[in-house]
């Protein structure tokens, strides 16, 4: 059969200009690929830890500056739609990055089918609503009672992530991953930072807080596993971005999901009437309205840094690993909060030093599994090369 002209041209271009990876031996190419992968993983890990630290610093700044002692009792529980909106709304800063990052050629056979676009659209819509829900629920949960109780209940997010990952992603657990998960839960519970948004004693609602935080943890865990499923089944397997996992996928996911989540939170802000309080809130801010706006902008940007890192870890490794890194950052965040704020009774004592050491062990044992997986791939390649030579 006669080959179409365009396809002939494509093929000859392909032969004349092979991709850099194709010039190298398979072994060298795998080595380079694994090195790039490690750099991407470490970069995303850095983003998650930096995002977590910045968010907690700015949240503490926000609530310390909010002059609640000087106003009527119950202001503490308002402003949660605003917090949920801030968690998602700064996504437009990612749009220029999306166009800067290179996109590999899409696969001609599978790209642009209507069915695929519909499924992807549905996934982004569903994830957007889920992210809006956990943003709002976590914001409420944090403000309803003691932060120690909040971390105790929100530690279940990792347990839910593990369960969903086993069901949805068919996640394979190793002994080292299980050790890492157990250590992470302990670190998160015992190494939590101080939080300036705690209510005073007569405002605490433990039973409501428990349910809200529980629901937030389930929604967060489900969103991580669905993001992973979306990457695997809709973006990578269908070769929408060629054969590779590329950072552009992370940006696409984050921009689309945050757009939907921001719209939901915006509707919540107006429908609940919370928007009417923004003026009073900004006037009550000790450092003045400019700092009120700046702290919200800073929070918005910090949440984006965190989310991009988290989704990056889901793409390159898994939802479980993303959650492990997020929760392991807790002792480091606690240390930064001790250094930055002068909260009563908040010091970096031996139990917290212990959680910091635990963090190294938890991440170390997960990294050990990742290292072993990479090594296994290299050994398999060597074996297949040897069997071809024989």
Ligand X SMILES: Nc1nc2[nH]cnc2c(=O)[nH]1
Q: Which residues bind ligand X (CB under 6 A)?
A: 138, 154, 157, 220
Query: CA 140, 143, 146, 150 torsion: positive or negative?
Result: positive
Q: Which CB atom, from 220 or from 367, has the smaller least distance to ligand X?
A: 220
- CA–CA distance, 221 with 218 (Å, rounded to integer): 5
Q: Which CB atom, from 238 or from 304, has the smaller least distance to ligand X?
A: 304
Shortest distance, position 154 Cβ to ligand X, whole Å: 5
Q: Which CB atom, from 62 or from 138, has the smaller least distance to ligand X?
A: 138
Q: Which CB atom, from 236 or from 299, has the smaller least distance to ligand X?
A: 299
Our measurement of the distance from residue 162's CA atom to the centroid of its chain's CA atoms, rounded to an integer in Å, reads 16
Shortest distance, position 303 Cβ to ligand X, whole Å: 9
Which residues, in sequence order, are CB contacts of 98 under 8 Å at separation 6+?
Answer: 248, 251, 252, 255
Query: CA dihedral defined by 87, 339, 68, 70, rounded to 10 degrees?
Result: -150
DSSP string, 118-184: HHHHHHHHHHHHHHHHHHHHHHHHHHHS-HHHHHHHHTHHHHHHHHHHHHHS-PPP-HHHHHHHHHH
Shortest distance, position 115 Cβ to ligand X, whole Å: 32
Shortest distance, position 158 Cβ to ligand X, whole Å: 10
- CA–CA distance, 125 with 123 (Å, rounded to integer): 5
How far is CA 377 from each of CA 30, 154, 178, 228, 339, rounded to the nearest angstrom?
9, 36, 22, 21, 44
Q: Which CB atom, from 307 or from 365, has the smaller least distance to ligand X?
A: 307
Structure tokens at 17: 């200009």
Structure tokens at 142: 């944090």
356 with 335: CB under 8 angstroms? yes
Q: Which CB atom, from 234 or from 327, has the smaller least distance to ligand X?
A: 327
Q: Which residue is nearest to ligand X (CB)?
A: 138
Shortest distance, position 157 Cβ to ligand X, whole Å: 6
Shortest distance, position 213 Cβ to ligand X, whole Å: 9
Q: Which CB atom, from 91 or from 138, has the smaller least distance to ligand X?
A: 138
Shortest distance, position 308 Cβ to ligand X, whole Å: 15
């Amino acid at each position: 059969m006669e080959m179409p002209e365009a396809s002939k041209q494509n093929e000859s271009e392909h032969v004349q200009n092979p991709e850099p990876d194709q010039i190298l031996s398979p072994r060298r190419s795998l080595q380079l690929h694994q090195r790039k992968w490690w750099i991407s993983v470490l970069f995303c890990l850095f983003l998650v830890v930096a995002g977590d630290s910045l968010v907690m610093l700015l949240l503490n700044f926000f609530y310390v500056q909010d002059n609640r002692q000087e106003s009527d009792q119950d202001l503490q529980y308002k402003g949660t739609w605003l917090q949920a909106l801030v968690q998602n709304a700064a996504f437009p800063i990612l749009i220029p990055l999306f166009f800067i990052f290179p996109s590999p050629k899409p696969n001609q056979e599978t790209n642009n089918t209507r069915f695929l676009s519909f499924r992807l659209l549905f996934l982004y819509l569903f994830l957007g609503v889920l992210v809006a829900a956990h943003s709002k629920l976590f914001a409420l949960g944090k403000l309803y009672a003691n932060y120690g109780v909040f971390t105790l209940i929100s530690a279940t997010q990792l347990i839910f992530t593990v369960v969903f990952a086993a069901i949805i992603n068919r996640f394979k657990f190793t002994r080292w991953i299980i050790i890492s998960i157990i250590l992470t839960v302990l670190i998160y519970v015992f190494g939590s930072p101080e939080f300036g948004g705690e209510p005073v004693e007569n405002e605490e609602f433990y039973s409501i807080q428990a349910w809200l935080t529980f629901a937030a943890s389930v929604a967060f865990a489900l969103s991580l596993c669905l993001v992973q499923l979306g990457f695997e089944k809709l973006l990578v397997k269908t070769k929408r971005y060629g054969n590779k996992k590329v950072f552009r996928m992370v940006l696409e996911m984050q921009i689309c999901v945050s757009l939907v989540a921001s719209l939901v939170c915006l509707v919540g802000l107006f429908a609940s009437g919370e928007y009417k309080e923004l003026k009073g809130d900004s006037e009550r801010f000790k450092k003045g309205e400019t700092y009120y706006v700046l702290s919200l902008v800073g929070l918005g940007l910090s949440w984006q840094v965190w989310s991009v890192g988290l989704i990056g870890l889901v793409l390159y490794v898994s939802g479980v690993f993303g959650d492990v890194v997020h929760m392991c950052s807790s002792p480091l965040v606690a240390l930064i909060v001790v250094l930055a704020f002068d909260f009563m009774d908040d010091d970096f004592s031996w139990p917290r030093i212990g959680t910091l050491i635990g963090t190294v062990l938890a991440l170390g044992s997960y990294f050990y599994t990742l290292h072993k997986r990479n090594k296994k791939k290299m050994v398999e390649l060597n074996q297949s090369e040897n069997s071809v030579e024989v």
